Structure 1
Amino acid sequence: MPIWKRNLWVCWFGMFVTGVGMSQIAPVLPLYIRHLGVDNTALIAQLSGIAFGSTFIISAIFSPIWGHAADKFGRKPMLLRASLGMAVVVGCMGFAPNVYVLIGLRLLQGVITGYSTACTTLIATQTDKEHAGWALGTLSTANIAGSLLGPMIGGFIEENLGMQNVFFITGLLMLISFLTTLLFVKESFHRQDKRVLSIKETWRSVPEKSLTITLFVTFFILTVALYSVEPIVTVYIAQLSHNTSHIALLAGMAFSAAGLANIIAAPRLGKLSDKIGPQKVMLIALLVAGFIFIPQAFVNNAWQFMGLRFLLGLAMGGLSPSVNILIKKITPDAITGRVFGFTMSAGYLGVFGGSVLGGQVAGWFGTKYVFIVTSVLLLINAVWVYFKVFRKLNVQEAA
């Protein structure tokens, strides 16, 4: 097996577990905060929001820093640092004596992230051009699937094994990821730029600035689209379902439908982008995803909603790989880690922004309007991608 392919599968497992580790706390957080001694319902809601959202905000700040470190010291050291750090910090959450220690550990979790950035940079720089789309498409499924399935996994562990075991089991999986990375990931790293570039100097080194900004915004929007629905899925399922005894299960299945479809579609659409161009796959996927959100607002039962979520996952499977392929294509190897770090920052901000957007739109206008607003965002982004990415790259390829 080629080295890049073995590294790909080790990174896939690590990114999946990291995605689970970042999101598994969502369904158990209010219960755990109550377990830690907070009884006021309003205060529990406020502290839950702070504990969940703060991790992603801090991750957005530190992701470019760890991307820079990956370019300077190598990608494997960053993988080892992030996986071992996550294992220790997430495991310690199970021993938190009060909610303030828990929030502190969530903040620390945001600081030590960087596993996904280092993985993406490693695979992007090791994989040959003919297989880049398939490799990055496969890799992208790990983080998205882990993030979407994390709440269901966390809820299942909490219900069957207890709240603290959510953290212990996730920490153990991250420790396994650390060991597999240590033993099986191979990297022959040669630092290409001996100088320490500032953010301003790094930005000057980016040859396609307008295109790069468009890709950052697109990654932000697609992450917003994935997570705008997260705060209202359970409520929406309850509105659609007449059987109230299985709402949690149906909500988990709705989350899983998109994640499963993404796992199926992303490697295939990544491979397709190697053949016809990532800009074409990106534009089509944006349009399809934008239109699929609209009927979700008008379904009559939970099963129709799940079916549309599955179709959405298929379309979304073409977006993240296309962004990563284009960034690899237009970015010099010496600053690839830093640029992928900024991409991940856009994604983390999208998780936070999507959750806030979904909750606010649902609160002010109703749950159905979350799907309409998200559809409009994706379709506007598709128009922008058409003029700034699709047409530009097609002209360059024709020349």
Structure 2
Amino acid sequence: MENSTNAFPGSGQGAERATYAARNAQYWRRNLAICVFGSFTTLVSLSMLLPFLPLYVQQLGVTSTAAVVQWSGVAFGVTFLGTAVTAPIWGQLADRYGRKPMLIRAAVGMAVVMSTIGLAHNVYELVALRFAAGLIGGYASAAIVMIGTQVPPERAGWALGVLSTGVLAGNLVGPLIGGVLPNLIGIRGSFFAGGGMIALAAVLTITLVREDFSKRPETKTKQVQSSAQNTNHNYAVLAALLITAMMVLLSNMSIEPIITVYIAQLGVAHNRLATVAGIVMACSAFGSMIMAARLGALADRIGGWNVIIGCLVATAVVMIPQAFVKEWWQLAALRGLMGMTLAGLLPSIAKLVRGTVNEQKSGKMLGYLQSAQYAGQVIGPLIGGVIGVHFGMRYVFFVTGALLIACAILGRWAQQKPASTATL
């Protein structure tokens, strides 16, 4: 890890060094490219098991169909639970020891654990290893912390949008690879291949990522020791941002776990359900891939809150017609539009979180942001399932749309709060 001794021009001995972003101005573009590749490969490895996870559960001795479904759901979801638990911890350690060590930890840890999953003897080991992957992994989360704090503030929205595109592409390509790879090298071999992909990302991270890190000393000037009013303002804004981040994943995931059932109600033949459901879900990810960087750049020009509020309202508007579709392709088109409107949210939120806290705590707060997103990923299917069972599938769209509008109102309130210096 490189350590520069450059200070502000004209500064004397003992003067504070330049900000973290300024010290790493020459590195962030290359680091962004490596982080995009690393996030893509890790998400491919984590999501490619979706098509064959039930088959692997069966190989590990689970026989009944109900138990296979249950254990497959647990094994898949427990990884995100692990990441949600540890993301703030890793973010805090990034503030203390640097961003690059956290990237290396995630890549090396996930490469080892992913390969070890291919050696599991029973379903309990599978779940434990998937949980370990979430606890020790989180390359994409670590990448958001690095890029979110290293890129110049005026380019943060665009850079985080590009990084989000890599994550979305990994989630989109992973299941496609997972549908082919086991036929070529077997299920256990697929896990070894996934571990190998992440190992390549680890090597590139170790050799090519550069960081000039040194923890700036806590100062006791009036600019740093803010008033209670400013502190309360920042807490309120941060709470609004974290709630909004949770809503992004909640709105997307509220229907996806039961979307196959909804498509069946549209008259799609049983033998085509899996294919059509895959296409519909892919449309959302593809729409986000197209627009993430563009809307991130728009946030750099017109402000993060303007993009967030606009995207929340647009997503709510696109959500409602999904309750009235008559054909599956209509749902696919609307999900694609919804993916586009959702795409601007996470880059804009991360950009604002960075600007709301001081440099020493940015990693920790971006870690909390990741936890909020994963919470939405867990809560969304639960809400969607309950509403779908008790009120009908169409009401899932109505409730989710209403929650998005409420979140837009919350965002408008936070936007109108008087500006304050980042002091938390």
TM-score (norm 1): 0.90
Q: Which residue of 2 aligns with 1:201?
A: none
Q: Which residue of 2 aligns with 1:20?
A: 44
Q: Which residue of 2 aligns with 1:267?
A: 293
Q: Which residue of 2 aligns with 1:249?
A: 275
Deviation at 1:293, TM superposition (A): 1.0
Larger helix proportion of the pair: 1
Q: How does 1:331-342 map to 2 (within 5 A)?
A: 331-342=357-368
Structure 1 residue 85 corresponds to structure 2 residue 109 = yes
Q: Which residue of 2 aligns with 1:233?
A: 259
Q: Which runs of 5+ in 1 are unaligned?
A: 196-203
Deviation at 1:282, TM superposition (A): 0.4
Q: Which residue of 1 aligns with 2:416?
A: 391
Deviation at 1:108, TM superposition (A): 0.7
Deviation at 1:329, TM superposition (A): 1.2
Whether contact under 8 Å (1:241, 1:247) holds in the other structure is no
Whether contact under 8 Å (2:233, 2:417) holds in the other structure is no
Whether contact under 8 Å (2:51, 2:179) holds in the other structure is yes
Whether contact under 8 Å (1:224, 1:350) holds in the other structure is yes
Deviation at 1:213, TM superposition (A): 0.8
Deviation at 1:226, TM superposition (A): 1.6
Q: Which residue of 2 aligns with 1:120?
A: 144
Q: Which residue of 2 aligns with 1:61?
A: 85
Q: Which residue of 2 aligns with 1:360?
A: 386
Deviation at 1:147, TM superposition (A): 3.4
Q: Which residue of 2 aligns with 1:295?
A: 321
Task: From the superposition, tell whether residues 146 and 179 of structure 1 become closer, same or farther in structure 2 (CA, over 3 Å).
Answer: same
SS in 1 for 2:63: coil
Residues in 1 aligned to 2:185 and 2:101: alpha-carbon distance in whole angstroms? 34
Whether contact under 8 Å (1:145, 1:259) holds in the other structure is yes
Whether contact under 8 Å (2:268, 2:328) holds in the other structure is no
Task: From the superposition, tell whether residues 226 and 151 of structure 1 become closer, same or farther in structure 2 (CA, over 3 Å).
Answer: farther
TM-score (norm 2): 0.85
Q: What amino acid sits opposite 1:123 in the alignment?
A: I
Q: Which residue of 2 aligns with 1:44?
A: 68
Tell me which of 44, 55, 79 is aligned to 1:31. Answer: 55
Query: Please, which moves more after superposition, 259-268 or 235-244?
Result: 235-244
Whether contact under 8 Å (1:90, 1:170) holds in the other structure is yes
Tell me which of 207, 212, 215 is aligned to 1:188. Answer: 212
Deviation at 1:15, TM superposition (A): 1.5
Residues in 1 aligned to 2:238 and 2:172: alpha-carbon distance in whole angstroms? 26
Structure 1 residue 316 corresponds to structure 2 residue 337 = no
Residues in 1 aligned to 2:365 and 2:186: alpha-carbon distance in whole angstroms? 40
Residues in 2 aligned to 1:60 and 1:206: alpha-carbon distance in whole angstroms? 25
Residues in 1 aligned to 2:196 and 2:248: alpha-carbon distance in whole angstroms? 31
Query: Please, which moves more after superposition, 121-130 or 151-160?
Result: 151-160
Whether contact under 8 Å (2:39, 2:166) holds in the other structure is yes
Q: Which residue of 2 aligns with 1:304?
A: 330
SS in 2 for 1:208: helix
Q: How does 1:198-209 map to 2 (within 5 A)?
A: 208-209=234-235
Task: From the superposition, tell whether residues 243 and 161 of structure 1 become closer, same or farther in structure 2 (CA, over 3 Å).
Answer: farther
Q: Which residue of 1 aligns with 2:97?
A: 73
Identity %: 40
Q: What amino acid sits opposite 1:353 in the alignment?
A: I
SS in 1 for 2:416: helix
Task: From the superposition, tell whether residues 296 and 318 of structure 1 become closer, same or farther in structure 2 (CA, over 3 Å).
Answer: same
Deviation at 1:332, TM superposition (A): 0.8
Deviation at 1:156, TM superposition (A): 4.2
Query: Please, which moves more after superposition, 349-358 or 92-101?
Result: 349-358
Residues in 1 aligned to 2:408 and 2:105: alpha-carbon distance in whole angstroms? 37
Give deviations 1:103-159, integer Å, cap 9, x for gaps: 110111111023223211211222112211111111122224433554444344346
Across the aligned residues of Structure 1 and Structure 2, the Cα RMSD in angstroms comes to 2.4
Whether contact under 8 Å (2:115, 2:194) holds in the other structure is yes
Task: From the superposition, tell whether residues 160 and 287 of structure 1 become closer, same or farther in structure 2 (CA, over 3 Å).
Answer: farther
Structure 1 residue 351 corresponds to structure 2 residue 351 = no
Query: Please, which moves more after superposition, 67-76 or 128-137?
Result: 128-137
Residues in 1 aligned to 2:73 and 2:390: alpha-carbon distance in whole angstroms? 18
Equivalent pairs, count: 387
Deviation at 1:222, TM superposition (A): 0.7
